[in-house]
Chain A
Amino acid sequence: MPWWTSARGSALEQEGEVVERLRGRDEAAFEQLVGEHEREVFGLARRMLGDHEEALDATQETFLRAFRGLPSFRGQASLRTWLYGITLNVCRNRLTSAHARSRKITQPLVLVDETGAQQPVPVPDTAPDPEQTAYGRELRSALEHALAALSFEHREIVLLRDVQGLDYGEIAAVLGCALGTVKSRLGRARGALREALKEVWP
Chain B
Amino acid sequence: MTCEELRRILEEEGTASSEPARAHLAGCPACAGEAERWAAVLVALRELGQEPAPPFLHARIMAHVRTEAAPRRERRWHLLRGWRAPALAAAGAAVVILGLGLYQAVHPPVAEVNKVARAVTQDVEVVPGGQRPPASSAPSVAAAPMAPSESESSGPLRHELEADVREARAKKVIASKAGSLAEDAERRGASTADAVAASGPAPAPARAATRRERAATSPSLDETHPPPLAGLLRSAETAGKGSDLVRCRLQVEGEDEAVELLLPAGQAPPADEVWLVTVHADGQLDLRDSQGERQLAPLVLQQSIGQQRQIRSGRYRLSQAPVPPTP
Contact = CB atoms under 8 A, between A and B. Distances in A.
Interface stretch (B93-101, B140-148, B192-200, B261-269): B261-269
Contacts of B54: 42, 56, 124, 126
Contacts, number: 167
Interface of A: 25, 27, 30-31, 34-35, 38-40, 42-43, 46-47, 53, 56-57, 59-61, 63-64, 67-68, 97-100, 102-114, 121-122, 124, 126, 136, 139-140, 143-144, 158-159, 162-165, 183-184, 186-187, 190-191, 193-194, 197, 201
B65 interface: yes
Contacts of B241: 106-107
B183 interface: no
B229 to A, nearest CB: 10
Q: Is the interface of A mostly helix, strand, loop or mixed?
A: helix
B74 interface: no
Contacts of A98: 266
Nearest to B265: A102
Interface residues of B, number: 57
B62 A31 contact: yes
B266 A187 contact: no
A162 B233 contact: no
A56 B60 CA distance: 9
A187 B12 contact: yes
Nearest to A144: B48
Contacts of B60: 56, 60
Interface string B239-259: 111101100000000000000
A111 B308 contact: yes
Nearest to A192: B11
Contact of A143 (B45, B72, B236): B45
4 nearest CB pairs, A to B:
A99-B266, A107-B240, A187-B12, A163-B49
Interface string B283-306: 000000000000010011001000
